[in-house]
Amino acid sequence: MKETVKIKSKKLNVFYGEKKALSNINLEIPERKVTSLIGPSGCGKSTFLRCLNRMNDSIEICKVEGQIFVDEQNIYEKNLDPVLLRARIGMVFQKPNPFPKSIFENVAYGPKIHGLANSGDELNNLVEVSLKKAGLYDEVKDRIDEPGTSLSGGQQQRLCIARAIAVSPEVILMDEPCSALDPIATAKIEELIDELSKNYTIVIVTHSMQQAARVSNQTAFFHMGSLIEVGKTEDVFSMPKEKKTQDYITGKIG
Amino acid sequence: MKEHIVSNYDEDLNSLKSNLVEMGLNCEKQLFHAINITRIINIAKANEIITNDDEIDAQETKIRELATITLSKRQPLADDLRKIIISLKISSILERIGDHASNIAGRILHVKKAPENYLTDSIYQLGQLVLKNFSKALSSYDQESQKIAQIVPAEDVTINSVYETCFREHLHLMMEEPKILGFCTQMLFIAKELERIGDLSKVISKEVIYNLKGKLVKR
């Protein structure tokens, strides 16, 4: 069965002022699969991720050329509202960043501003379902009004995932979501990624080769602003086609 | 060949390889002596071969430990991972080959001496072919050479047909001279041990190709 393409970048070039950060990226991201972006620091993988929900718009010197299609719609079209786009394409960051509000409010905030719940009950239900999907509900159900920041790092990260899920996105972008977490919290997030991929398209930037190998279906390797290789994760990590990929994933120089 | 950023990683992989090559050479030596005593029976040598097999077993254990430590320390990927996987596989094959050499020595201890009218040296000749092909399989690993590895399965076809000839020859000998039936039976068991070593050499060569190409070769 052929996979449906959810996101497609075409001839994508990104500049930070004079500096070219991404060069001619053509990448297809399959729907309801996990795609991991790997590569050394400064290779452009996070820049690429941020292009997918126009997070780069807020950086003044950043210029994006080319096209990114989400379901055949070019997200860089002039009349497209980036706020609505970001409801469809949620993001989870490296450092958990809950709002300085209660656990409930953290999750309820998005549905409120997007008018996704018509009543208090509906909102309560939406928060509960989102927390459940993020695998956090059982741990926080008795202290839902406590501040989000009172949770542990791993719980905070799952709260951020619940917050992203609450607005019913189609895509979840994750920028090194486990780099600030201990191995147990990491395992819980990885388990969650696996579960979420049944309903959402997930793109994850990670520095851990093993994590990419564990969680993703497709892996893309970036190097100095170029996409060097993309393929099925098991192929990229067992028999990469490109020498550069092989050297990177096995930690070689020379 | 590029080196790892962490130089200890290279040392781990090199140590694994040198241990495996050493184990292979030990097997080669055992096999060499085992084949020799099929032509000129030497009881002392046979006992020595059986005793030395313990050393090969210990070498396998050491390789397994090294491989386990390297896997857990480095969490290797791609060609590094394959190098470790094949070292485990090949060391276990070498251990089997060591057992076969030891079994040959055991058969020799059993027969004690050759009957005077047993004049053929076909088992010894079979052994020479097997030894040569085993050495090739070992070199293909040591030199990481696909070219050498590809020769091994082709040579094994010859070994199998020589084994068949050897088998028929002994059947005739036994029919002609029932007094040497017991001796010939032991020699046929030895021929079977040699034929197995031929097969195992082929498996080694396929592991070498897997390491280099990343794809398993059909048996």
Q: What is the ipTM of this complex?
A: 0.76
Question: Residue A19 maps to which CATH number?
Answer: 3.40.50.300
Q: What mean pLDDT is predicted for residues B192-201?
A: 98
pLDDT confidence bin for A253, thresholds 50/70/90 = low
Residue contact B77–A252, C-beta within 8 A: no
Residue A77 inside a domain? The answer is: yes
pTM of the model: 0.83
Residue A212: its chain B contacts at CB < 8 A? none
Average pLDDT in the A6-19 region?
Answer: 95
Least CA distance to A245: which residue of chain B?
Answer: B78
Q: Locate the chain A residue with the closest alpha carbon to B1.
A: A254
Testing the interface with A: which of B77, B209, B213 to mutate, by most A Cβ within 10 A? B77
Å from A242 to nearest chain B CA? Answer: 12
Place of tokens 């390789």: B63
Per-residue pLDDT averaged across B140-154, rounded? 96
Overall average pLDDT of the A210-233 stretch: 96
Please name the residues in contact with B124: beta carbons below 8 A apart, sequence gap of 6 or more.
B35, B36, B38, B39
Which chain A residue lies closest to B76 (C-alpha atoms)? A250
Q: Do B4 and A251 touch (CB under 8 A)?
A: yes
Best of A38, A210, A252 to mutate (most B CBs within 10 Å, chain B): A252
Distance from CA of A178 to the nearest CA of B (A): 18
> Cβ(B197)–Cβ(B145) under 8 Å?
no
Inter-chain CB proximity B77 and A247 less than 8 Å = no
From residue A20, alpha-carbon distances to A40, A199, A211 in Å are 16, 35, 28
* Chain B residue at shortest CA distance from A238: B78
**Contact across the interface for A250 and B215, Cβ inside 8 Å:** no
pLDDT tens for B172-183 read 999 999 899 999
* Pairwise CB contact (< 8 Å): A250 & B78: yes
Q: Which positions in chain B touch A253 (Cβ < 8 Å)?
A: 2-5
Give the pLDDT confidence score for residue A230 in this predicted structure: 97
pLDDT at A254 over 60: no
**Contact (CB<8Å) B214/A210:** no
In this prediction, residue A1 carries a pLDDT of 57
List strands edge to edge, sheet with A19-30: A19-30, A5-16, A62-70, A73-74
Which one of A216, A238, A241, A248 makes the best mutation probe of the B interface by having the most chain B beta carbons within 10 Å? Answer: A238
CB contact under 8 A, A251 and B79: no
Contacts of A240 in chain B (CB under 8 A): 78
Domain count for chain A: 1
Give the chain A residue whose CA is nearest to the CA of B5.
Answer: A252
In a domain, A154, yes or no: yes
Cβ of B3 and A254 within 8 Å? yes
Looking at A26-30, B147-151, B174-178, B204-208, which range is the least confident one?
B174-178
Examine the pLDDT at B107 and tell me if it is beyond 70: yes
Q: What is the mean pLDDT of residues B31-49?
A: 96
Assigned domain for A57 exists: yes
Query: Which pLDDT band, with edges at 50, 70 and 90, does B216 fall under?
Result: confident
Overall size of chain A counted in residues: 254
Are the Cβ atoms of A253 and B3 closer than 8 angstroms? yes
**Chain length of chain B:** 219
Give the per-residue pLDDT at B121: 92
Write down the pLDDT at residue A252: 87
Minimal C-alpha gap between B6 and chain A (Å): 8
Contact at 8 Å (CB) between B16 and B63? yes
Secondary structure, 3-state, chain B: CCEECCHHHHHHHHHHHHHHHHHHHHHHHHHHHHHHHHHCCCHHHHHHHHHHHHHHHHHHHHHHHHHHHHHHHHCCCHHHHHHHHHHHHHHHHHHHHHHHHHHHHHHHHHHCCCCCCCCCCHHHHHHHHHHHHHHHHHHHHHCCCHHHHHHHHHHHHHHHHHHHHHHHHHHHHHHHCHHHHHHHHHHHHHHHHHHHHHHHHHHHHHHHHHHHHCCCCCC
Amino acid at A114: H
Mean local confidence (pLDDT), B151-163: 97
User: In this structure, are residues B170 and B187 in contact, taking their beta carbons and an 8 Å threshold?
Assistant: yes
**Residues B8-17: tens digit of each pLDDT:** 899 999 999 9
Chain B contact residues (CB < 8 Å to A): 2-6, 9, 75-82, 214-215
Averaged confidence pLDDT in chain A: 93
Print the domain residue range for A232.
5-249
Where b means 16+ CB within 10 Å and e means fewer, A212-233 reads: bbbbbbbbbbbbebbbbbbbeb
Residue type, A189: I
For B22, phi and psi rounded to 5 degrees? -60, -45
- State the average pLDDT for chain B: 95
Tokens 């430590």 correspond to B69
pLDDT tens digits for range A177-212: 998 888 888 998 999 999 999 999 999 999 999 999
Residues of A within 8 A of B79 (CB-CB) are 246, 250
**Chain A contact set for B3 (CB, 8 A):** 252-254
Closest residue on chain A to B81 (Cα): A238
CB contact under 8 A, A250 and B3: no
How many C-beta atoms surround the C-beta of residue A33 within 10 A?
18
A/B interface, count of CB pairs below 8 Å: 40
Over 70: is that where the pLDDT of B219 sits? Answer: no
Which pLDDT value is given to residue A112?
Answer: 92
Tell whether A254 is covered by a domain. no
